Amino acid sequence: MTLIERLHKEFAAEDADSFLIRLRGELFWDRAAFRRLVDAMQEYLASERNTEDLQRQTAEGFWYLDWYVKEWSSHPNFPKVFPQSYYESAYERLHDLAYWYFFGESPCETGTLAVFDA
């Protein structure tokens, strides 16, 4: 499976162990699944660094994750098992990845994002 296929499967929540399925259906923040998701997003961005064209399906995924994950997991009934600082870092990571996708450059001075401690 190619990187873009893997990323689109994550965005579409096609696998039972995908981050979005666990988040939405089970009200469970799966750190390993989140890590796989953001790693795939960052790997895609690094590999497509010089691409000028945005793919609609990919753009929808980056846009959706940027707002949906925070909205859903910020609900008072969503069980929080990690420190709030972890969730804030995760939301920031998704936002930074979306920024990188839409603006074509990393929001970090180094030109890439630091390793996410998930």
Q: Whole-angstrom Cα distance, residue 34 to residue 17?
A: 10
Residue 111 lies in a domain: no
Residue 39 lies in a domain: yes
Residue 4: the pLDDT is 87
Residue 114 lies in a domain: no
Residue 86 lies in a domain: yes
Structure pTM? 0.81
| Domains held by the chain: number | 1
Nearest to 41 by CA among 111, 85, 93, 109: 93
Residue 40 lies in domain: 3-103
Q: Whole-angstrom Cα distance, residue 87 to residue 117?
A: 11
Residue 117 lies in a domain: no
Tokens of 54: 């945005």
Residue 116: the pLDDT is 53
Longest dimension (CA), the chain: 42
Residue 37 lies in a domain: yes
Can you tell me the mean pLDDT for 93-118?
74
Residue 116 lies in a domain: no
Q: What is the mean pLDDT of the chain?
A: 86
Residue 64: the pLDDT is 94
Residue 43 lies in a domain: yes
Q: Whole-angstrom Cα distance, residue 45 to residue 37?
A: 12
